[in-house]
A and B are shown apart, each in its own frame.
Chain A
């Protein structure tokens, strides 16, 4: 006599499995997302003096990032990059990573063009925030949401 093959999960097993997944979600989420829009805001206040106005900054990246370990990002700013009018600083933040800082760049008229490219880690779906400080002290910013399929910080 052969034992009948068991297919699928009993109700009890299914409930237990859900419970395990659920408790994981509860304990993992706060660990992975220590940065919040509030901590990003706080870092921004430390980095720049003036209140950012929307505009002038563009963020080019994937709308959906399959791999959060390496998301290519291009940041550019509308600026002639002349002695009279140039981008002095460019800050990049993310509001749902373990820490909100990503990178800060110092630029000058010697660059000729205000554009930088890099690859960043994203723990989960979140906003990239790019902030440009001009030589006259004015501050401009743009945010862009990137949906992340597989996060790239804890793994």
Chain B
């Protein structure tokens, strides 16, 4: 399990029914590309978050496959149509198999 990996999300809530809301996410993670070399000239092994998925009341609404070209501390935002009150579950998958999860309730006014 990698240390210091902290996902942060911003979901506008309450939202109006049918409103298209922007969801912003940021994870503190080095996204080590596997291209860099250390002081001894040895390649630093790749270790990135390779996938991010978001479900809204259990249904997948966003699924991203990420490559080493994504910057450190990946900031990713996307849109979702607010249809019903419920829960958004975010999962980030690390190359080492670790899962970073965070959830957020969403209320429809």
7 inter-chain pairs at a CB distance below 8 angstroms, sorted by A residue, are A99-B68, A101-B69, A102-B69, A110-B56, A111-B78, A119-B71, A153-B33
Kindly identify which residue among B35, B62, B74, B80 contacts A98, using a CB–CB cutoff of 8 Å.
B35
Contact B78 A105 (CB under 8 A): yes
- In the docked arrangement, what's the CA distance between A32 and B67, Å? 16
Do B81 and A117 touch (CB < 8 A)?
no
Give complex CA distance A121, B77 in Å.
Answer: 17
Least Cβ distance of A74 to chain B in Å? 9
Interface residue tally on A, bucketed by range:
20 to 34
Which secondary structure dominates chain B's binding surface?
strand
Query: Taking A153-B33, A154-B36 as contacts, is the C-beta distance between A113 and B20 under 8 angstroms?
Result: yes
Please state if A121 and B36 are interface contacts (CB–CB under 8 Å). Answer: no
| Chain B residues with CB under 8 A of A154 | 35-37
- Residues of chain A having any CB pair with chain B under 8 Å: 69-71, 81, 94, 97-99, 101-113, 115-122, 152-155
Report A-chain residues with C-beta under 8 Å of the C-beta of B81.
81, 109-112
User: Which 7 residue pairs are nearest across A and B when measured between Cβ atoms?
Assistant: A112-B81, A112-B20, A106-B63, A101-B67, A113-B79, A119-B71, A70-B71
B69 touches A97 (CB 8 A): yes
CB neighbours of B37 from chain A (8 A)? 154
Residues of A within 8 A of B83 (CB): 110
Chain A residues near B61 (CB-CB < 8 A): 108, 110-111
Residue in chain A with minimal CB distance to B69: A102
Partner of B74, one of A106, A111, A119: A119
